[in-house]
Amino acid sequence: MNNHCFGCDFGSYHLKIYHKDADSYLMQHNMVAVQDKKTMLAYGDEAYAMFEKAPANIQVSSPMSYGNLASISYMQAFLKSLLEKNTKGQLRGAEFFVALPTDMQERSFTMLIQDSNMKPKAVYLVDKPVAAGLGLDINVKEAQGVMVIDIGAETTEISVLSLGGTVISRLIQTGGRSIDDAIQAAIRKEYNFYIGNKTAENIKKELAYAVEPEEGSMQICGRNMVIGLPQMLEITTEFVYESIKEQLNVIMDAVKSILERTPPELGVDIIRNGIYLTGGSARIRKLDQLIQERSGIRVTVDNEPELSVARGLARVINDKEFRSLAFVTKEQKYE
């Protein structure tokens, strides 16, 4: 196989790429900074550093939105620039393996790379839940039921896998950013205090618990909406816990719905194997405990949940046993 192979996981928050030649992973914030609506000024982590700090003529946004491509042209420019910088420009004739979220159009992700000027040799797709399962070191080709919960920035994907495919799956528009929004809204309502998205995210990382929050607090900076001036405010873990409960319940309702629809034989496998939790928001403290308490099923959390899908793509690229899990769209004719 061509050593210039890339496994791409296009998340709304991070872009994750596996490079076969270097046998390494690259993860950058999936953001671009565009000046005067025409010139890409920065991308990745550099663009994220500008988020909520840029003047009016510089727009900082993500080319992805809820698993869909919000801007193909910006995503193409970002991907090409990032790969050229980190792989010495060796893109011509490369093979791309792209993780495809549930219910998303195959053609859009294929054309994203095909219509760029990177001149790829081939673009293969791998169902994202299947890639996540592989990244969790599960042999998804076996005749056994496996449940994977992937909680990303803007979506949560709950899937039951067996024999190398997705038996049943549900994608909901709730994820890490919904939890951030809930924190922002609660602080605004309770304290008449406005905070930015980055601050809300930091609060989630530092103080969020899914059950039984331990005692803790942090000082945050924002704007007092009564007097209109910047101030400091102390936020506790208990306050954050109460703020995000509703969003976590939405995820739990979706998990329960999938379990209810799972065929009995696969349900027995899930009880035996447990539920696997991945995605960046899987890092919320005691989230596995919440799922286990509500479902009665043991939960395993990935040590590096952000990279599960990219690791799964790496297994498809490197292991002949899993190469058959990659497929192409009808428009493509690759050997």
Distance CA 228, CA 224 (A): 5
Q: Which CATH number fits domain 141-301: 3.40.50.11540, 3.30.420.40, 3.40.50.300, 3.40.50.1580?
A: 3.30.420.40
Domain ranges of the chain: 5-131+308-325, 141-301
Residue 334 has pLDDT above 50, yes or no: no
pLDDT at 2 over 70: no
Q: What is the pLDDT of residue 1?
A: 55
Is the per-residue pLDDT at 333 higher than 60?
Answer: no
Per-residue pLDDT at 302 exceeds 80 = yes
- Convert the pLDDT of each residue in 47-91 to its tens digit: 999 999 999 999 999 998 877 888 889 999 999 999 988 877 678
Give the pLDDT mean for 246-250: 97
| Domain covering 5-131+308-325 in this structure, CATH number | 3.30.420.40
Q: Report yes or no: 154 and 177 within 8 Å, Cβ to Cβ.
A: yes
DSSP 143: S
Output b/e per residue, 46-61; b: 16+ Cβ within 10 A.
ebbebbeebeeebebb
Q: Please compute the mean of the pLDDT values over residues 229-242 and round it to a whole number.
A: 97
| pLDDT tens digits, 125-154 | 999 999 999 999 999 999 999 999 999 999
Averaged confidence pLDDT in the chain: 92
Q: Model confidence over 180-201: pLDDT tens digits?
A: 999 999 999 999 999 999 999 9
- Rounded to two decimals, the pTM is 0.92
> Nearest to residue 281, comparing CAs of 208, 196, 187?
208
